[in-house]
Structure 1
Amino acid sequence: MKVLLTGATGVAGLGILRVLLADNSVSHVTYLGRRPLPPWVILPNGTSTNNNSPTHPKLSTIEHKDFLNFPPALQEKIAGHEPASGHWAFQPALKEKGSGTAENPYRVVFVSGLGADSKETSRVLFERVKGRAENNLIRAAEESGGRIGATIMRPGYFFPSKDYPQDAPNQRGLALRVADKLFGAPLSLFYSGGVISVEQIGQFALAAARGKWEGKGKVIFENAEMKKFLQNLNESTRSREEL
């Protein structure tokens, strides 16, 4: 499976990228972004050098500044992937190329956020914008005749990966890092349904790109649901391995 990923410089996007690169079922990841991965990023089994973007045998990067304009050559590249995370503004390119079929849809996985407002009436800009993006994706999937599949993730609060200590100082300001330290443990203990790790976000996105959640009868998955479905999937996988 080849995956197209946007937003890989963010906390969630970088977590998804690492999960994709570490998974044997993913043959290649194309990162589409306005800028390359920063030099401080460490990838599993990747190569990092001072002042240069990290490299990985399964990773290629396409720098593209204007996410409202996709020239034909870029449309061709987009059409050959399963997209995960971040922007999905390339949906017009999918229509142009007629990507996907009813039997093998082009699956779009969109990382939205807890509190996204599907009615688009919230006074909070984040909630309105996320809700509008969700609605546009759902509409595009419905109008595609089954050629485009949609999964919308609404993760709650998440932290930079603890497995990569260089992430936090590069992805969080000082005030937010202090808040993470002070409230991270209590949130995880008393509000576990609203907290999720970036690794879990990556695992859920990968499963969505494989079509694992298509039989659930829904498109939008809230934070607690994501964790529950992942737990069930992992338990099922362990049971099969023990047989």
Structure 2
Amino acid sequence: MRVLLFGASGMVGQGILRECLLAADVTEVLSIGRSPLLQKHPKLKEILLPNLFDIATAAYELTNFDAVFFPLGVSSFRMSEADYRYLTYDLTMNIATLVAKQSPEATFCYVSGAGTDANSKTMWARVKGELENALMRLPFADAFMFRPGAIRPLHGIKTKTPLYNAIYLAFSPVVPLLMKLFPRHITTTEEVGLAMLAVARKGYPKPILEPVDIRRAAGIAI
């Protein structure tokens, strides 16, 4: 399986990349992002694009992929709706529309968020909901929206935001207990990666995966 991965340097992207590189049936991972990755691997190839809106310059590299994993995203904190829509809806659709033309047989997996709803009064939830609907209309072989809720980073993975890393560290002693108490609301970076690979291989009964679906797809009994 050939995998095209956007946002591999982010927390969720790191988890997805790890599972892809460990999977025996993944023969190649092409990472496209703004910053170089810190790791090297025989399966891994990188394309650096300082401006991801320039994705058309790499169009010839986007052909014949089996899966497209898209955990790329920005926080809406202190951002206007116009700016957030530009960096969330417009950027994602610009990339996904081109990839759908180049690799129409691929399964597209997008990392959205719990609470996403195109009819929501909350700005980020509405924008992401509209984006989910638009992505599912693109001519991919299949498309799935992942809404992981709270995510626990594993295997030394960290976010790019020092404050978030401090929060994860502070709560790390009680996270295992929280996962037992709230198994339907918390996932891990490993589970998201395993679930995406499983969905790319054999699909899933519904196009939108909530935390419980992600854990089931990853092989976790709920």
Q: State the TM-score bracket (shorter-chain normalisation).
A: 0.7 to 0.9
For residues 147-187 of structure 1, the C-alpha deviation after alignment (integer angstroms, 9 at most, x for no partner) is: 431011110211221x32xx348654254235533652442
Partner residue, 1:122: 121
3-state SS of 2:152 partner: coil
CA RMSD of aligned residues (A): 2.4
Higher Cα Rg, which structure: 1
Partner residue, 1:213: 203
Question: Does the alignment pair 1:23 with 2:23?
Answer: yes
**1:85 offset after TM fit, Å?**
2.5
For residues 29-83 of structure 1, the C-alpha deviation after alignment (integer angstroms, 9 at most, x for no partner) is: 011001112xxxxxxxxxxxxxxx3211110110012222323x51121123221
Asked if 2 retains the 8 angstrom alpha-carbon contact of 1:85 and 1:205, the reply is no
What is the distance in 2 between the residues matched to 1:220 and 1:154? 7
Letter matched to residue 77 of structure 1: E
Letter matched to residue 196 of structure 2: A
3-state SS of 2:17 partner: helix
What is the distance in 2 between the residues matched to 1:91 and 1:148? 13
Alignment identity in percent?
28
Asked if 1 retains the 8 angstrom alpha-carbon contact of 2:19 and 2:194, the reply is yes
Partner residue, 1:238: none
What is the distance in 1 between the residues matched to 2:29 and 2:98? 19
1:1-150 pair list within 5 angstroms? 1-37=1-37, 53-71=38-56, 74-81=58-65, 82-87=67-72, 88-89=92-93, 90-97=95-102, 99-100=103-104, 105-119=105-119, 121-123=120-122, 125-140=123-138, 144=139, 147-150=140-143
What is the distance in 2 between the residues matched to 1:26 and 1:137? 24
Asked if 2 retains the 8 angstrom alpha-carbon contact of 1:157 and 1:196, the reply is yes
**1:8 offset after TM fit, Å?**
1.0
- TM-score normalised to the size of structure 2? 0.79
What is the distance in 1 between the residues matched to 2:28 and 2:145? 22
For residues 72-100 of structure 1, the C-alpha deviation after alignment (integer angstroms, 9 at most, x for no partner) is: x5112112322113244422213544x32
Could you tell me which runs of 5 or more consecutive residues in structure 1 were left unpaired when the two chains were aligned.
38-52, 235-243
**1:131 offset after TM fit, Å?**
1.5
**1:230 offset after TM fit, Å?**
3.1
- TM-score normalised to the size of structure 1? 0.73
**1:213 offset after TM fit, Å?**
2.1
